[in-house]
Amino acid sequence: MASSSSSLPLLTLFLLSTLLYTTSGTGTTSTGSDACSTSPDTGSTLRIIHAFGPCSPLRPAVPFPSWADFLTDQTERDTTRLLFLNSLATTGTGKSFVPVASGKQLLQIPNYIVRGRLGTPSQNLLLAFDTSNDAAWMPCTGCTGCPAGSTWFNPTTSTSYRPVPCGSPQCSQAPSPTCYPRANSCSFNFSYAASSFEAGLGQDSLSLASDTVSSYTFGCLQKVVGNSIPPQGLLGLGRGPLSFLTQSKSIYGSTFSYCLPSFKSLNFSGTLRLGTYGQPKRIKSTPLLLNPHRSSLYYVKMTGIKVGRRTVAIPPSSLAFDTTTGAGTVIDSGTMFTQLVRPAYEAMRLEFRRQVNAPVTSLGGFDTCYNGPVKYPAITLLFQGMQVTLPEDNVMIHSTAGTISCLAMAAAPEGVNAVLNVIANMQQQNHRILFDVPNSRVGFARELCT
């Protein structure tokens, strides 16, 4: 690989240079108010903000030294996220013991956040939403080891906050619940490699857009040991008993959709739509698969991949759904680039390179890159009952000058017992993704989100 000084111009990838951060010559972050002004949350529709985008209050105060550094950071997050998802798939529990790189976020919180209000009077919070998690937790005042941040929840000032008692159904549903001697309230612990946190289980009123979920059960973080966690809370949109989807079933009918904006968007704002109202009437869909041991994950049956008009010869075992091993394909909102088990990725990559028929180079975590103008074949993901042909912006990453482009997919990391194919958020962008749990389906429809 070339030296950092010579490779830096190549590393100003489109993904990161189109206003993930808008930097001036002094290196400070600049976001115009016009670019960030959007309509407020209304009804049951919430604005989605990219956690690292120019309009996010969570963006780093000091930008990364280069777009290459940001790209490296994101691909490392994806690697750790994949370890986390595979741990869920292979263990089938909320107890994940997966290596976490130094300084990385506990639980690998996903990239997209929404605004919410918790308590009485309400306290404004930022919540990362995660389709592969059931947990809900908030950093709370008095927490030992929690990061400093502006979105802590103070339960002592909320007149509607109630601790969840020991012996309650919610306590038994929490991961590793604990009731200490002489304690009347339930706590739970979550371990993640050398990191762990302890949270008190509580209930309070959670408001999203115009709706309120009464007696919402969540973990109030009390102690964190190990790697730091991000300042925002977590809104789990999985299918487990303590997920937001289950707790709000009477309001939203276990149905939601989102549209994630393209990385070309100025303000990284899409929408999260809760409930059946306003969802697409005509949408292609594929059945949801239920794995009773891994209820948090949205499994679907991927039957193949087409590159151009040719169906790739992928070993059937690489796409098989197996409730025992946890293998299969999941739709995930928290991984940035689609990750395939190695035999599936290598077969797809081989056919892609064959059809492009141009010299291949590598760049960062991407192993299929091209210099100069190249005609790229379409990639179509084949699912039971539907197929999704991805536009080029969902498949290729382009440098700022357009001189280099990379296939924005990857194989599972070496040395990982990976069993999951993860359809990630870059490949989902500018689609309305519908999660219709009562009818056991996931739908895809093209929609431009800005």
| Residue 139 near residue 149, CB atoms below 8 Å | yes
Q: How far apart are CA 369 and CA 424, in angstroms?
A: 20
- Amino acid (1-letter code) at residue 387: Q
Residue 307 contacts residue 377 (beta carbons within 8 Å): yes
Q: Is 332 a catalytic residue?
A: yes
367 is catalytic: no
- Cis upstream peptide for 54 (omega within 30°): no
Which letter does DSSP use for residue 276 in this model?
Answer: S
> What's the one-letter identity of residue 148?
A
The residue from 134, 204, 332, 367 that is catalytic is 332
Specify the DSSP element, H or E, that contains 303: strand 302-307
> 394-413 in b/e burial notation, b at 16+ Cβ within 10 A?
bbbbbbbeeebbbbbbbbbb
What CA–CA distance (Å, rounded) separates 113 from 24?
A: 26
Bridge partners of 45? 42, 273
Residue type, 351: E
List 390's β-bridge partners, or say none: 379
Given 41, 78, 130, 204, the catalytic residue: 130
Contacts of 354 (CB under 8 A, 6+ apart): none
Residues 271, 409, 307, 289: what is their CA dihedral angle, to the nearest 10 degrees?
Answer: -60
Residue 247: both structure tokens together = 């707790």
Half-sphere exposure in the Cβ direction for 446 (13 Å, CA): 7
For residues 350 and 32, give the distance between their C-alpha atoms in angstroms, rounded to a whole number: 43
Give the residue among 310, 446, 308, 314 at the shortest CA–CA distance from 376: 308
Where in the sequence numbering do the catalytic residues fall?
A: 130, 332
